[in-house]
Structure 1
Amino acid sequence: MIVGDGSRTSFWHDCWIASECLATKFQALYTHTMDNQISVKYALQQGLTASLVPRLSETARQECQCLQDLLQDFSLNNERDIRTGGIMGKFTTKNIYDTRLPPGISSPNWNLIWKCRAPLKVKLFAWLLVRDRLSTKQNLLKKKIVQNGVCDVCQQGDETADHMCFTCPFVQSFWERIRVNPTIQDVWLLHQLKPSPNVPELHHHVFFLLCMWAIWNHRHDVVFRGQTPSIRCCLQRCINEAALWAENLKIEDRHVISAWKNIFTSPLRSLNLM
């Protein structure tokens, strides 16, 4: 689907913003909808939660957050929707890219993100990250959703994408613990990241996405679950995620997972001895 005004596109059942329909991609959230026949226009104008039951399961809540992050950069226009491949038509990552940037404008992060071996949900996260479309406090403040843009993790600075990944004191402590010094301070320059001496060069960008994904999710634990910021928890999440991500790598490349886990395990052991 090529979405115009969104009135003729099924929000849940057409492939209009991802490689598969949202009912399949966000199965837990889909089971919590009160009306699975809503259009894209209705969902975007009334808000995603307008058609959901009041109380969501934990899995559905996480999927809702992920879907809202994906939707926040999508806008409708006055053109008619165009059905390009039927209700189950394929929508590639290139289509997503084309709908996110004006014609003629390219992103140096395109190949890094969409062709790397990270899980799809992390690619979506990374794409929103480098385009400053995540629901950081500063972005929420611009939309008048929150009263201030201060980082809930450190309480010392405005939470921007750059702050969350590089300049937050908590995050800086995380990088120091794993003995990794990011060579950039701007998420838009993600493609310029160089591996630290202790990080294998093979798939090193995936390693950094793993760390940023863990930081983002730990941030959610702090904001939505009231957890205390914890380097220990962040390191453990990295280890757990690394084990799961092995399936995304070629068999001959999976040795890097062991190296990644060692990077996280050493400081975790030190913290556990304190």
Structure 2
Amino acid sequence: MTDWVREALHRDYAQSLRVGEVLYDSATDHQRLRVFINGTFGRVLTLDDVVQTTEGDNFIYHEMMTHVPILAHGAARRVLIIGGGDGGMAREVLRHRSVEHVTMVEIDAGVVDFSRTYLPMLSQGAFDDPRLNLVINDGAAFIRNTAEKFDVIVVDSTDPVGPGEVLFTDTFYGHAKRALTPGGILVTQNGVPFMQGAELTNTMRAFKALFADWGCYLASIPTYAGGPMAFGWGTDGDARQTPLDVLDQRFAAAGIETDYYTPEVHKAAFALPAYVKRLMP
């Protein structure tokens, strides 16, 4: 098994990926970063041996965390990304010509540097887009202190351990709501509910206290193993109710080609299985 990496994120369950060529392996001040090639998923990025993104299936995660809130909102001009150092989230946000400004806050400059070198297919030039303002800072500190307002906030965090833990707190979510424009939308990654149910429940409890419309939607991403992943949704507007025909019109007007997102998938993603519903507070 020396040519395999074992991801032990969950107590009673683990997945393994075959490691081909190792392209990068170095510890920064915050975490150990590795990029290696896998025969199915292409280039794989891990932080402390936990898969963060892959060349092969990252499109599902990035498309669903960006196009769902942006197209539901319908008039998003300013977007904030917390995390997302590989550039994939910025890539998808910036595909919307209607988005005028993106602030991306990443705690670890090392993630950005090696992603530009070893994972350029994820960012596809997003770091050079003049609409992007890259801020190297702690996301929780930024959201606590900023006076800026955003139409959509995307929290592309790691799992709630280490530097990412603070991004799952009630205080953080409260500061994020304050940074939203009226009708603005906050979306978060909340892990795989079958394996990480408490993570979703805790976020939903905070969202229930903060937002008029709160909940989550789902997408299945192969390397985030253990079932479909949940994305938290919070807003004081009615964007979730955007009709399918309106989503169709907005999607067509955006002129974006996608590999996972469609307006039909957008609407269906909010239909939750019973075990996920039972995790709601």
User: TM-score, normalized by length of structure 2?
Assistant: 0.29
User: TM-score, normalized by length of structure 1?
Assistant: 0.29
More helix by share: 1
More strand by share: 2
Structure number with greater Rg is 1
